[in-house]
Each structure stands twice: as C-alpha cells, then as structure tokens.
C-alpha cells in the first residue's frame, strides 16, 4: 500500500489568487489547468518557494492596530502547536478564511464523473474528507447541494494533472481576506497514469479540503496538510491550526509603521 500511496505524492498548488483588488475588478483565478491564459505560477511544490508578495495583497486593508496585535499574540501563544504562520508567510500577512456564517454550512457540489475510471464510491471518499474537517470543532460544516451556481465549494474529478500533483485547490478571496469560493480538482490517476488507490484518493481529498477552508501547508509529514500527504487522519496540529484560523479575524495583519 505504501507504494500506491507514494503515487499520490502531492505536489499541488494552492493557487494564489488574486484577491479582489481595490479597483473592483473580479478576482482573477490563476489556475494553470483551468485558465491557461491566466498568469501561471511555478508548477513547483508550493511549500518549496513561498510566493512573493503581490500587488493584490498589498492592497488588502490592514486590521486595526489592536486587532493585529491580538492576532500576533495568539500566533505566538500557540507557537509550534499550529502551522498557521505558514499562512501568514504565504499570503503576505493576510489571515484568509471563510467569513463567519452563524452556523450556516458551506454549500458543496460534488460533480460526479468527469473522467474515465470514476466510480460513485469516490464521492463517498470526498464525503469522508468533508466529515473529518466538519468534525474537527472548527465551526465549519458542509452541506451538499445539487447546483454548482449556488455552491461555495465545487469538487470535480479529472483524469490526471500534467505535472506531478494529485489535487489542486483554487481559492478566491476578497480584499478583506474573506474566502468567497473554492474549487477542488482531484485526479483519478497519477501523472504517470497509474490509478490512485482509495486510501490515496482519501488522503488527497482530506488535504485539498483543508486548503478549501483556508489552511496552508505544514512542514511536518505527520500532518494532513504536508504537501506530499500520506495520511488521511487529521493530526492535532491540523485541528489546532484550523481552530486558530477560525478564531482570528480575516484580514491583513501586516505590521504597519506608525507615523
Ligand atoms: Zn497542498
């Protein structure tokens, strides 16, 4: 089984998007597979090279001074029990997550089929992945709906990626760090063409769902958010990181020099 799981080595890219700029232009999703004409980021593992600051995130209004201070204090207080600092460094100091929904679930569409080799049981694997995060005490829950127009999260299957990855999540968020939409693409086969096992598909689904709720990568291979994930179980750090993310206000925590 280890060999099969290794096939699922995940070199996904959490697409940096393109928060809504102050000019009210629509978010420019930069998915390299879905939007070939859009700006491409390096098809390397996202953990290897944090993306440089972008003009988009620089335009993100910062939280007020006390809120920024509170966020920094909480990050320091939790220390290495979370990997949320990875989010702060990859988003140019933006706490980015779904806005509070007062108990309302995120609406999810599971698109069936889409690639040869798809079997209905695979939707069950995705539901397991959603259940794991919903059960983590983060306050984020999911409800399946049939219409992707109304969906917050769209999950689709593809045959394989051209580059070495098994899943990809494209997030769109606004200038206040509030996630507006997520699209998860899951591959049925490795880049070399081997069918991924159910445990591998589940691991990737758990990992990508973590991205869909806003989580960054972890540098620890015991965490589901490790880039080359081999586990479908959430670690304590996965759970704590998600909990902390949803305790913090979304927005820029960039340190702004006072004048
Ligand atoms: Zn990832």
DSSP string, 44-80: S-TTTSPPPP-HHHHTSPBPPHHHHHHHHHHHHHHGG
Distance 28 CA to ligand 1 centre (A): 20
Distance 14 CA to ligand 1 centre (A): 6
Place of tokens 């990809």: 168
Distance 48 CA to ligand 1 centre (A): 11
- List, in order of start, the domains of the chain with CATH numbers: 2-19+52-252 (3.40.390.10)
Instruction: Say what the pLDDT of residue 176 is.
Output: 92
Q: At residue 42, does pLDDT exceed 90?
A: no
Distance 42 CA to ligand 1 centre (A): 14
Instruction: Say what the pLDDT of residue 259 is.
Output: 58
Distance 30 CA to ligand 1 centre (A): 16
Give the model's confidence band at 74: pLDDT under 50 very low, under 70 low, under 90 confident, else very high.
confident
Instruction: Say what the pLDDT of residue 258 is.
Output: 58
CB 150, CB 134: distance < 8 Å: no
Q: At residue 28, does pLDDT exceed 80?
A: no
Give the model's confidence band at 237: pLDDT under 50 very low, under 70 low, under 90 confident, else very high.
very high
Instruction: Say what the pLDDT of residue 153 is.
Output: 98
Return the higher-pLDDT residue of 150 and 58: 150
Distance 65 CA to ligand 1 centre (A): 31
Residue 230 in tokens: 């081999």
Q: How far apart are CA 41 and CA 10, in angstroms?
A: 17
The 10s digit of each residue's pLDDT in 147-203 is 889 999 999 999 999 999 999 999 999 999 999 999 999 999 999 999 999 999 999
Distance 43 CA to ligand 1 centre (A): 12
How distant, in Å, are the alpha carbons of 15, 18, 47, 97, 221 from that of 26?
Answer: 16, 9, 27, 18, 36
Instruction: Say what the pLDDT of residue 22 is.
Output: 34
Distance 257 CA to ligand 1 centre (A): 33
Return the higher-pLDDT residue of 51 and 185: 185
Q: At residue 18, does pLDDT exceed 60?
A: no
Distance 225 CA to ligand 1 centre (A): 6
Closest CA to 215 of 166, 189, 255, 248: 248
Distance 24 CA to ligand 1 centre (A): 29
Instruction: Say what the pLDDT of residue 257 is.
Output: 65
Residues 6+ positions from 1 with CB-CB distance below 8 Å:
197, 199
Which of 58-72, 103-117, 129-143, 228-242 comes out lowest in average pLDDT? 58-72
Mean pLDDT estimate for the chain: 80
| Chain length of the chain | 259
Sign of CA dihedral 7, 126, 20, 243: negative
Distance 163 CA to ligand 1 centre (A): 14
Distance 227 CA to ligand 1 centre (A): 5
Instruction: Say what the pLDDT of residue 223 is.
Output: 97
Q: At residue 64, does pLDDT exceed 90?
A: no
Distance 166 CA to ligand 1 centre (A): 9
Instruction: Say what the pLDDT of residue 72 is.
Output: 83
- Mean pLDDT of all residues in 63-77: 84
Q: At residue 207, does pLDDT exceed 60?
A: yes
Distance 221 CA to ligand 1 centre (A): 12
Distance 231 CA to ligand 1 centre (A): 13
* Count of beta carbons in the 10 Å neighbourhood of residue 161: 22
Partners of 84 in the beta sheet?
A: none
Q: At residue 38, does pLDDT exceed 60?
A: no
CB 39, CB 1: distance < 8 Å: no
Instruction: Say what the pLDDT of residue 155 is.
Output: 97
Instruction: Say what the pLDDT of residue 56 is.
Output: 55
Instruction: Say what the pLDDT of residue 8 is.
Output: 34
Distance 223 CA to ligand 1 centre (A): 11
- For 14-170, where are the alpha helices, taking DSSP H only? 55-58, 65-78, 84-90, 121-134
């Amino acid at each position: 089984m280890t060999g099969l799981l290794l096939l699922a080595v995940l070199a996904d890219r959490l697409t940096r998007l393109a928060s809504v700029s102050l000019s009210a232009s629509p978010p420019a999703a930069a998915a390299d597979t879905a939007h070939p004409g859009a700006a491409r980021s390096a098809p390397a593992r996202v953990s290897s090279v944090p993306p440089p600051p972008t003009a988009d995130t620089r335009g993100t209004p910062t939280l007020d001074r006390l809120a920024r201070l509170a966020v920094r204090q909480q990050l320091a207080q939790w220390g290495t029990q979370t990997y949320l600092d990875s989010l702060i460094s990859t988003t140019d100091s933006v706490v980015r997550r779904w806005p509070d929904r007062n108990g309302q679930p995120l609406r999810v569409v599971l698109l069936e089929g889409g690639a040869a080799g798809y079997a209905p049981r695979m939707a069950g694997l995705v539901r397991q992945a959603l259940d794991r995060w919903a059960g983590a005490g983060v306050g984020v829950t999911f409800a399946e709906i049939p219409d992707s127009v109304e969906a917050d999260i769209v999950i689709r299957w593809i045959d394989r990626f051209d580059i070495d990855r098994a899943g990809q999540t494209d997030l769109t968020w606004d200038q206040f760090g509030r996630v507006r939409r997520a699209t998860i693409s899951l591959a049925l086969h490795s880049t070399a063409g081997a069918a991924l096992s159910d445990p591998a598909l589940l691991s990737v689904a758990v990992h990508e769902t973590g991205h869909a709720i806003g989580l960054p990568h972890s540098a620890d291979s015991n965490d589901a958010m490790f880039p080359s994930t081999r586990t479908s179980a959430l670690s304590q750090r996965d759970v704590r990181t998600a909990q902390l993310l949803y305790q913090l206000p979304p927005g820029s925590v960039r340190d702004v020099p006072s004048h």
